[in-house]
């Protein structure tokens, strides 16, 4: 099967694989080359695939969509992270969540300042 994982700004993976294990909203599932055509909404979690030349890769994946049509498997997601092992993967995910949390705090602060400024200007119009 040809696996292609798309992020909003890049193609993360495009390679031949023998097996895919992913998590959907109703549980995990496995895809093999002779599996029927399939569409699934992916839940945040682990996404595992076995490379055609051997070896297994693990990704942490955000919500997304998986489409299997013939020998092609296309995955579209907002964010995915890969690392050499589960321990390192956990570290990378925690770091990314910390960065996102900090950005979210900055956005909330800027939004509150804009809202306060808008209210002040409305009060000044009276």
Average pLDDT for consecutive 10-residue bins of the chain (126 residues)? 94 95 92 93 91 88 93 93 74 69 77 85 80
Rounded Cα gap, residues 105 and 54, in angstroms: 43
pLDDT at 84: 66
pLDDT score recorded for residue 82? 80
**Separation CA 37–CA 110 (nearest Å):** 46
Dist CA 52 CA 33 (whole Å): 11
pLDDT of residue 70: 93
* DSSP summary character for residue 47: E
Backbone angles phi, psi at 62, to 5 degrees: -80, -175
Determine which helix (DSSP H) or strand (DSSP E) holds 123, and give its type and residue range: helix 86-125
Q: Report yes or no: 76 and 84 within 8 Å, Cβ to Cβ.
A: no
Question: CA 21, CA 31: separation in Å to the nearest integer?
Answer: 6
- Predicted local confidence at residue 71, as pLDDT: 93
**pTM for the structure as a whole:** 0.71
Name 41's Cβ contacts closer than 8 Å, sequence gap at least 6: 24, 25, 63, 64, 65
Which CATH class name applies to 2-83? mainly beta
């Amino acid at each position: 099967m040809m696996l292609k994982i798309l992020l909003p700004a890049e193609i993360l993976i495009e390679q031949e694989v023998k097996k895919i294990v992913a998590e959907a909203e109703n549980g995990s599932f496995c895809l093999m080359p002779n599996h029927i055509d399939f569409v699934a909404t992916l839940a945040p979690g682990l996404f595992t695939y076995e490379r055609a030349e051997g070896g297994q890769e693990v990704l942490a994946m955000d919500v997304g969509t998986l489409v299997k049509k013939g020998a092609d498997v296309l995955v579209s997601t907002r964010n995915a992270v890969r690392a050499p092992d589960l321990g390192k993967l956990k570290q990378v995910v925690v770091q990314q969540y910390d960065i996102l949390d900090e950005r979210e705090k900055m956005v909330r602060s800027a939004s509150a300042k804009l809202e306060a400024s808008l209210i002040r200007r409305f009060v000044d119009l009276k």
